[in-house]
Amino acid sequence: WRKTFEGRYDNLLSLLEIEVQPAALSTLTQYYDPPFRCFTFRDFQLALTLKEYKRLLGLPLVKSPSYLSKGHYPSWALVAKLLKTSELKMLKRKRNKNGLEGLSRASIEERLHQSSRGKEIGRLSWTVLFSQIEDNIDLVVINAFLAKRDRGENLVIAVLANTYYTLNYCHEKNKKGLRCCTSLLYLWMTTHFSTIRGR
């Protein structure tokens, strides 16, 4: 499935290869300033922007409508159909992690390996990339995938909004577990700090 994915989504594939350093992200989040929606340091401020996320993901916004969640999630029957398996098997694999119903990343990847439809494989990889909890692909992420697949909606705004939501949530609740695409946030961080160091 990786070869099929490579041709269509090179930038996204590179996110799978990023070795995220949790300590670095933990340090970064200590500088997050919720009222200003940015990271405030002694001499400067940094904010996540749509333009940067669009560039890092390689997904231009002008080509497709933006995805905005409407709060309706797919049924397990639809998820089973998507993964070409029975609903009964899907319900057995279903799990609840931190209040989010989903599937393990391993079970999704297993279905990717067994699938013969290359186009579907590449698109379904979105769910693997943007899972909110480590090793859990929840219905919210599967819903975003379906919006991308069925209506061609662009997920950049949703990914950026989810990152800000996570940063605000972690700051407000004084929690450490980021529930966003940490590899993308880490890539954004390293891009900025390597630029600052070079000045």
- Surface-to-core class of residue 19, CB atoms within 10 Å of its CB (0-12 exposed, 13-18 middle, 19+ buried): exposed
DSSP reduced 3-state for 185: helix
The model's pLDDT over 134-190, given as tens digits with 9 standing for 90+, comes to 677 888 888 888 888 788 888 899 889 989 998 998 898 887 778 788 889 999 999
Instruction: Please indicate, yes or no, if residue 128 is contained in any of the structural domains.
Output: yes
Helix 118-129 vs helix 139-151: crossing angle, to nearest 10:
140
Instruction: Please indicate, yes or no, if residue 197 is contained in any of the structural domains.
Output: no
Instruction: Please indicate, yes or no, if residue 90 is contained in any of the structural domains.
Output: yes
Q: What's the domain range around 138?
A: 2-192
Instruction: Please indicate, yes or no, if residue 199 is contained in any of the structural domains.
Output: no
The model's pLDDT over 23-47, given as tens digits with 9 standing for 90+, comes to 999 999 999 999 999 999 999 999 9
pTM, rounded to two decimals? 0.78
Instruction: Please indicate, yes or no, if residue 54 is contained in any of the structural domains.
Output: yes
Instruction: Please indicate, yes or no, if residue 162 is contained in any of the structural domains.
Output: yes
Instruction: Please indicate, yes or no, if residue 22 is contained in any of the structural domains.
Output: yes
Instruction: Please indicate, yes or no, if residue 198 is contained in any of the structural domains.
Output: no
Euclidean distance between CA atoms 154 and 148, whole angstroms: 6
pLDDT of residue 53: 93
pLDDT of residue 41: 94
Q: How many domains does the chain have?
A: 1
